[in-house]
Structure 1
Amino acid sequence: MGKLLAGAEKEVLVEIVRFTQKNGLKGAEGGWKDFLVLNDKKFGASVSDPKKRSKDVLLAFLKTFSKDFQKYFSKLVRRFNERSATVQFMKEFSDKLSPELKLVQLTAEHPEYRKNYNFPSYQEGWKVMREGKVSNFMNSTMLAVDCEMVLCHDGTEALVRVCVVDSNLEVKLDELVNPFKAVADYRTSITGLSKKDLKGVTCSLVDVQKSLKKILSKGKILIGHSLSKDLHALKFDYTQVIDTAYIFKYANLPTTASASLNSLCKSVLGYAVREEGEPHNCLKDAEAAMNLVLAKLKHGFNDPIEIARNNVVPESDKMKLLAHKIPVYLPCQELLKLFSGNPSIDAKNDSRIRDEVEKAFEELDGEETKDSSGRLQKSVLLKRDNGDVASFFVRKMAYGSRLNESELSKKRPPPPIEDVEPTKEDNDGDKHKKQRTDKKHKKKSKKSVAE
C-alpha cells in the first residue's frame, strides 16, 4: 500500500471508505459491509459507520482493492490534503480573501460538501483539474454553469447541453452535446430537448471538457446550483466552486436540505426562473445561479431566509410517485421490480389510478419521512440481481395524503365511548360520580324505608 494512503489521517480514510460505499466499489473481500462480516466475528456489519472503526480496520479494507484502485485512493488522499491546505490557508488569511473566495470557503465548509464533491474521477472519461499551490487560488473571476442530461439505455445519464456565463451574464459557452449512445428518455418536459434537436450535433463530451479546461484556467471560480450534479454530468473534477445550494441559510428547511433553484430565486431575487410545468432553460439557469451569487455578495443574506413552498399540485401529478436520487448504475428494469400491480390501468379511471398509487406507496418497505416541501416519501433499499444494494427515495407527488389530528376530527365522528381507553383522570372522575350516585341511592332507599 502506498505511503501516502498509509500515512493519511483517519478522517481522510473515513471519507475514502464512504466513497467506496457510495459508488458500490468492492475489493477482494467484497464491499465495506462484506469485509466487516468476514473479519469481525463479534460485531460484523452491525457497526458499519466507518467513523466508528479504527484506522487499522479502514486501512485493512482499502488494502483489499487492486493496486490500480490503491493508486487512485492515494490520489484522493492528495486531493484531501490539498483541500485541507486550501481551507487552512483561507482561515489564516481570511482578512485578505476576496468576498468571492469567502463564498468558496463557505461552500467547502457545508456539511454536504465532502459527500457530494468526492467524484469517481478514477473512471474512464473523467478529467481532473489539479489545485496546485494554494497561493494560486486568489483569483476572483467567476463563471456560472448549468447542464441538461438525458437517460440512456445503459442506465446512465448523459450530457446534452451545457451553458456557461460570466459575471456580466455574457455567454462563454452554449453547446448542444451528442451523447453518442442510445437514449432511453430525453426528459423533454425537463430538458426542453428532443431527438430532433440533437440531429446533426457533432460536439462531444470530450470537446466540452477541453473548452471548460481552457476557460477555467488560472483558478477561476465555478458557480452552479447543486453544482456537483453538473460536474458529474461533465465528468469534470473541479474544486474551486461556489454552490448556490450551500451559501444560504434556510429558516424552514432541514440543515442538510437545500431549496430548488426556482424557489431560491423567488425568495432571494424576487422572480421565478420558470413557470410551473415549464421545461428548464439551461442558459437561464446558469444566469440565475450567477445572479444569486451577485445578490449574496451585494446584500449578504446572512439571516436565514424563508423558502416559499408551492402546495398546489396539478391533477395529473396527484396520480404519480416520483423515484429520485436513484444511483446511475441502477437499470430501470430492476427499478420496475419494486412496484407490483396492473400497468394497464385505464387512464380515464382517475380514482382507480389514485388507489393503485396509494397502494403501491403503502406496500413499499422503507422509512416514511417528509421532503423539504412536506410531501411524504420513503427511503427504499433495493437488492439488485448482482447482489448490490441501491438506495433511493420514492415520493408521493400529492400533498395531504395523511390527515393531521384537526382534519381527522372534521372527517369522522368521535369513536364510541366503549372504544376509548379511559385515562386516570377519567377513572377518578367516574369514581367520584359513582360515589355521588351511590349516596343518592342510599338516601332514596332510607326515605323509602321511612315511608
Structure 2
Amino acid sequence: MGERLAGAEKEVLVEIVRFTQKNGLKGAEGGWKDFLGRNDKKFGVSVSDPKKRTKDVLLAFLLTFSKDFQKYFRKLVRRHTERRAIEQYMNDFSGKVSPEQKLVQLTTEHIEYRKNYYFPSYQEGWKIMRIGKVSNSMNSGAMLAIDCEMVLCHDGTEAVVRVCVVDNKLEVKLDTLVNPCKAIADYRTHITAVSKKDLEGVTCSLVDVQKSLKKILAKGKILVGHSLYRDLHALKFDYSRVVDTAYIFKYANLPTTASASLNSLCKSVCGYSVREEGEPHNCLKDAEAAMNLVIAKLKSGFDDPIEIAENCVPESDQLKLLAHRIPVYLPCKELLKIFSGNPSIEEKIESRIRGNFYSTCILFKDIGEADKAFEELDGQETKDSSGRLQKSVLLKRDNGDVVSFFVRKMVYGSRITNSEISKKRPQPIENEDPKKEDANGDKQKKQRTSKK
C-alpha cells in the first residue's frame, strides 16, 4: 500500500494530509503538527502548510497511519485519479460529454465542493461506490434524485428515517421509512413529518438502504440532490458522480460560499414553491424538486446570476445559532449559560478549531426559540461580511474570568450600508486576535486567523 501512496502526485498527498487535519486524524506519531514537531528540528510546526512541504515529508507522515487508514488513503488517491481522468476526457472529447456530466463537473468545480464532499468514509458503516469506466460515465445521462429526512438521536448524531429516490421522469424508484436502530431524542416532526408512531414496525435499516442505492446507481448513474452532501453523510454513502442543485446556479445577491434553500431556488427557477411556510417537508416532493431544477438547468441554461429571496438558508440551519471566535480553553458546555430556551450544543471538534479559537453550533427546537435566544443576548449587534446578524457577547465564568466571542444567525439579510457603519462605533476586527489572558493567565499575542 505504501508503494501506491508513493506513486501519487504531491498535490494528491497534500489533499490527503489536509483531510487528516480537517478530521483530526492521528497516526503513530500523532497528527500532522505533532509529526512535524517530532521530526523536523529546523522548522518544526512553523511551516505547517502541507503544500510547502516536500513529497517525502508528506509521504512519511501518511505512512505513520495504520494499514486500515492507508487502505482508505489509497481510495482517496484513486478518487483523485478518477477526477483527473474525467477532466482529461472532457478536454479531449468535449463533443462526446453528456450535458448531465457537465453539471457533474460544474458541481465539482464549486468552491465548497472539496470542503463538503470529502467524506469520513474510513469510519465504520460507510460504503464507497466507484463510478466505473470513465468513457462510459461521460456519455451517460441517466439521473436519479434523492432526498432524506433525518432525526436527532440521543448520542448527538443525526439518523435517516425516510429516503425517496425518483428518476428524470419523476417516477419513484425508492420510497421507504428507515429504522435508525438507536434512541431518538427529537423526531423533528414539524420538519420531517415523521413521528414515533410512523416508525413502529419498520424493519428497513440503513444497511438495507445502502444496498438499494448500490443497485439503482449501477452503471455510473448520476445522483442529484440539494445540498446532497448532507444526505450522503447521513446515509454514510460515498459517491462522487453527483449534481448538487445548490452548486450549479449563480446567485446575484448571495456570497460565493452561500447556497439558496430548495424552496427559494424552486421559486426563482421553476416558478413554484415546494412547500408553504410552516408546512413540514415532503421527502418525495423534495426529490422531485431537485430533479426539476436540473431539468430546468439543462433546458434553459440559467447562466446569469439568479436573484434569491432573503432568509433562504435551509430550515434545519435556521434552528441554529453559530458561536465563533471562541477561545479553545473554554469548554463547549459553558456556552449554554448565555442562551434562553433549552438548546443543545455540538461538541468542539478538530475540524472547527482554527489556531486559538473554535466554532460550534447551538441547536434549538424551533426557529422561534432560536430567534428569541438571539434577541435576548446581551451584546452589540453588527453584521458580518455576508449580511448575517451577529452579536459580540461576554460570558462570565465561575472562576471570575470574562470571555468574549461572537454569536451569529444563520439567515442572510441585507448587507450593511455605509450609513449603518458610520453610526456604529468601531468594532474589533474579527480576523485579528486582541491580547487576552488564556486559561493560565498568560497574555496571548496578536495573530492573524482566517475570517469566519
TM-score range, shorter chain: 0.7 to 0.9
| Cα drift, residue 189 of structure 1 | 2.8
Between the aligned partners of 1:409 and 1:150, the Cα distance in structure 2 is 45
| Residue 376 of structure 1, aligned match among 378, 381, 390 | 390
Between the aligned partners of 2:67 and 2:286, the Cα distance in structure 1 is 42
Question: Which residue matches 1:105?
Answer: 105
| Residue 338 of structure 1, aligned match among 326, 335, 339 | 335
Alignment check: 8 A CA contact 1:370 1:376 kept: no
CA pair 193-336 structure 1, distance change in 2 beyond 3 A: farther
Between the aligned partners of 1:116 and 1:410, the Cα distance in structure 2 is 38
Structure 1 letter corresponding to 2:419 = S
Question: Which residue matches 2:25?
Answer: 25
SS at match of 2:68: helix
Structure 2 letter corresponding to 1:338 = L
Question: Which residue matches 1:145?
Answer: 146
Is residue 394 of structure 2 the alignment partner of residue 357 of structure 1? Answer: no
Is residue 408 of structure 2 the alignment partner of residue 395 of structure 1? Answer: yes
CA pair 396-131 structure 1, distance change in 2 beyond 3 A: closer
Structure 1, gaps ≥5 residues long = 326-333, 379-391, 413-451
Between the aligned partners of 1:243 and 1:182, the Cα distance in structure 2 is 31
Between the aligned partners of 1:271 and 1:263, the Cα distance in structure 2 is 9
| Residue 406 of structure 1, aligned match among 419, 425, 446 | 419
Alignment check: 8 A CA contact 1:321 1:395 kept: no
Question: Which residue matches 2:90?
Answer: 90
| Cα drift, residue 256 of structure 1 | 2.5
Correspondence list, 1:183-198, <5 A: 183-198=184-199
Structure 1 letter corresponding to 2:121 = S
Correspondence list, 1:27-426, <5 A: 27-137=27-137, 138-310=139-311, 322-323=321-322, 335-341=332-338, 356-359=376-379, 369-371=384-386, 374-376=388-390, 394-396=407-409, 406=419
| Cα drift, residue 377 of structure 1 | 7.7
Question: Which residue matches 1:425?
Answer: none
CA pair 398-27 structure 1, distance change in 2 beyond 3 A: closer
Alignment check: 8 A CA contact 1:38 1:44 kept: yes
| Cα drift, residue 271 of structure 1 | 2.1
| Cα drift, residue 187 of structure 1 | 2.3
CA pair 288-375 structure 1, distance change in 2 beyond 3 A: farther
Tell me which moved more, 403-412 or 184-193.
403-412
Question: Which residue matches 1:446?
Answer: none
Question: Which residue matches 2:442?
Answer: none
SS at match of 1:229: helix
SS at match of 1:194: coil
Structure 2 letter corresponding to 1:135 = S
Structure 1 letter corresponding to 2:143 = M
Structure 2 letter corresponding to 1:39 = N
Structure 1 letter corresponding to 2:152 = L
| Cα drift, residue 290 of structure 1 | 0.3
Question: Which residue matches 1:14?
Answer: 14
SS at match of 2:384: strand
CA pair 40-131 structure 1, distance change in 2 beyond 3 A: same
Alignment check: 8 A CA contact 1:369 1:377 kept: no
| Cα drift, residue 87 of structure 1 | 2.1
Between the aligned partners of 1:10 and 1:377, the Cα distance in structure 2 is 42
| Cα drift, residue 15 of structure 1 | 1.3
SS at match of 1:30: coil
| Cα drift, residue 247 of structure 1 | 1.0
Alignment check: 8 A CA contact 1:90 1:105 kept: no
CA pair 241-341 structure 1, distance change in 2 beyond 3 A: closer
Between the aligned partners of 2:18 and 2:85, the Cα distance in structure 1 is 22
Structure showing the higher helix proportion among its residues? 1
For residues 326-365 of structure 1, the C-alpha deviation after alignment (integer angstroms, 9 at most, x for no partner) is xxxxxxxx743333247689xxxx9996664235x98xxx
| Cα drift, residue 192 of structure 1 | 2.2
Between the aligned partners of 2:189 and 2:323, the Cα distance in structure 1 is 17
CA pair 351-87 structure 1, distance change in 2 beyond 3 A: closer
Alignment check: 8 A CA contact 1:223 1:289 kept: yes
| Cα drift, residue 46 of structure 1 | 4.3
Between the aligned partners of 1:189 and 1:107, the Cα distance in structure 2 is 31
TM-score by length of 2: 0.74
CA pair 352-43 structure 1, distance change in 2 beyond 3 A: same
| Cα drift, residue 235 of structure 1 | 1.2
- Equivalent pairs: percent with the same residue? 74
Between the aligned partners of 1:337 and 1:156, the Cα distance in structure 2 is 21
| Cα drift, residue 26 of structure 1 | 1.0
Between the aligned partners of 2:259 and 2:36, the Cα distance in structure 1 is 34
Structure 1 letter corresponding to 2:222 = I
Alignment check: 8 A CA contact 2:225 2:290 kept: yes
Alignment check: 8 A CA contact 1:85 1:134 kept: yes
Structure 2 letter corresponding to 1:246 = Y
| Cα drift, residue 401 of structure 1 | 12
Between the aligned partners of 2:241 and 2:193, the Cα distance in structure 1 is 30
Structure 2, gaps ≥5 residues long = 325-330, 343-369, 393-404, 426-452
CA pair 160-181 structure 1, distance change in 2 beyond 3 A: same
Alignment check: 8 A CA contact 1:321 1:357 kept: no
CA pair 215-34 structure 1, distance change in 2 beyond 3 A: same
Structure 2 letter corresponding to 1:358 = D
Structure 1 letter corresponding to 2:408 = R
Alignment check: 8 A CA contact 1:160 1:179 kept: yes
Larger Rg: 1
Between the aligned partners of 2:83 and 2:371, the Cα distance in structure 1 is 54
| Cα drift, residue 408 of structure 1 | 8.0
| Cα drift, residue 368 of structure 1 | 7.8
CA pair 284-322 structure 1, distance change in 2 beyond 3 A: same
Between the aligned partners of 1:400 and 1:130, the Cα distance in structure 2 is 41
